[in-house]
Amino acid sequence: MERIKRAIEKVKKHNQPNDLKAMKRGRVNANGREADLDEFSYVSTKTVELDGPHLEKNRIIVYNQQDVKSTIFDILRTKIISKMQQNGWKTIAVTSPTQGCGKTVISVNLAISMARYNDFSIMLADFDLKKPEVAKNLGLKVDHSIMDYFDDKVELDEMLVNPAVPRLVVLPNNKAYKDSSTLMSSNKMRSFVEEVKHRYESRIIIFDLPPLLATDDAIAFLPNVDCVLLVVGNGMCSKSEIEESMRLLSSKNLLGTVLNKSDDEWRGYV
Ligand SMILES: Nc1ncnc2c1ncn2[C@@H]1O[C@H](COP(=O)(O)OP(=O)(O)OP(=O)(O)O)[C@@H](O)[C@H]1O
Ligand SMILES: [Mg+2]
């Protein structure tokens, strides 16, 4: 896409070896590889500090690395990365059979945990265009909507936010759309995902999507991604809803199913 190329050019201009922003972050290395990996996300992306108590209230537990429960996400992260590496997958959709299962909470925790893994930069995109909540969970103030971007009113680098976690960039959205499935299944959307996916060798993109059975958005968008993580809220979906979701995902690469809101105690280790 022309606009993404323009954004990349703009960022490249910023990122001369004497560019203080890049130097301060240690992103300029001998062969420029690391700078390449992150410049789009960091040099011209606004960085926003996160508020610990707000995150805790919204169940973003991995931010506090002292919280033993964050290990749950580290285990999930490592399993997912391993499977993605084996298969050369770079894009993940997070969805669920019905609403409220915990997709957004899991997407955000997973994105932070994955960014800490060091080997990848992570983009977390709020593509639940009917009910965008990533920014709310992270406590981010968002100036633009995804539709502003697709309507050519704003550049991608103006939309992106780095929530003060190295290697993590968030594509937030501040507005819900009734007619979102048209965009989700459009060629414009397909080109956007392909462009962002292939631009950076070491980037993983997590798309927080709507539920599979409540709208057609997720089904419309799924052909764009490499693999899917299904979140099932404990006691929130019937057997037939889970079966129907598995049927809809039968042609997709299913990373696995997360049973969220389980009553089981986390036993921890040591
Ligand atoms: N493991 C959990 N234990 C208890 N509550 C949880 C858990 N995970 C998420 N929640 C809560 O459940 C509610 C729904 O979570 P979340 O918004 O992440 O779900 P969602 O699947 O994204 O919902 P929607 O379909 O509306 O987008 C939130 O209030 C969240 O704090
Ligand atoms: Mg959600």
| pLDDT confidence tier of residue 21, bands split at 50, 70 and 90 | very low
Distance 260 CA to ligand 1 centre (A): 9
Looking at residue 226, what is its pLDDT? 97
Q: Which atom of ligand 1 is nearest to the CA of 100?
A: 23
Looking at residue 41, what is its pLDDT? 46
Query: What's this model's pTM, rounded to 2 decimal places?
Result: 0.86
Q: Which ligand is nearest to the CA of 260?
A: 1
Distance 5 CA to ligand 1 centre (A): 36
Looking at residue 67, what is its pLDDT? 86
Tell me the two tokens of residue 123: 């983009």
Let me know: does 14 contact 44? Beta carbons within 8 Å: yes
Looking at residue 118, what is its pLDDT? 81
CATH number of 47-260: 3.40.50.300
% of the chain with per-residue pLDDT over 90: 71
| pLDDT confidence tier of residue 107, bands split at 50, 70 and 90 | very high
Residues 6+ apart with CB under 8 A from 181: 215, 216, 217, 220
**CA-nearest residue, atom 9 of ligand 1:** 102
- Give residue ranges with CB within 6 A of ligand 1: 59, 96, 99-105, 128, 131, 133, 211, 260-261
Phi, psi of 233 (to 5 degrees): -80, 130
pLDDT above 60: residue 7: no
Q: What's the mean pLDDT in 174-188? A: 94
Q: Which ligand is nearest to the CA of 98?
A: 1
Looking at residue 42, what is its pLDDT? 53
Lowest-pLDDT choice from 17-21, 73-77, 157-161, 265-269: 17-21
Closest to 98 measured CA to CA, from 260, 263, 256: 260
Mutate to test the pocket of ligand 1, among 67, 73, 104, 241 (most ligand atoms within 8 A of CB): 104
Mutate to test the pocket of ligand 1, among 54, 70, 105 (most ligand atoms within 8 A of CB): 105
Q: Tell me the CB-side half-sphere exposure of residue 13, using CA atoms within 13 A.
A: 5
Distance 80 CA to ligand 2 centre (A): 20
pLDDT above 50: residue 130: yes
pLDDT above 70: residue 236: yes
**Mean pLDDT of all residues belonging to the chain:** 85
pLDDT above 80: residue 8: no
Distance 103 CA to ligand 2 centre (A): 5
Report d(CA 35, CA 58) in Å as an integer: 33
Burial class (CB in 10 A: 0-12, 13-18, 19+), 170: buried
pLDDT above 50: residue 6: yes
pLDDT tens digits, one per residue of 207-221: 999 999 999 999 999
More confident call, 42 vs 131: 131
Please give the full DSSP string across 47-97, using - where no structure is assigned: E----HHHHHHTT-GGGSTT-TTHHHHHHHHHHHHHHHHHHT--EEEEE-S
In single-letter form, the type of residue at position 242 comes to I
Tell me the two tokens of residue 28: 């300029």
pLDDT tens digits, one per residue of 30-89: 333 344 444 444 556 788 999 999 999 999 999 988 888 899 999 999 999 999 999 999
Distance 101 CA to ligand 1 centre (A): 5
**CA-nearest residue, atom 2 of ligand 1:** 261
pLDDT above 80: residue 97: yes
| pLDDT confidence tier of residue 14, bands split at 50, 70 and 90 | very low
Let me know: does 104 contact 134? Beta carbons within 8 Å: yes
% of the chain with per-residue pLDDT over 70: 82
Residue ranges, CATH 3.40.50.300, the chain: 47-260
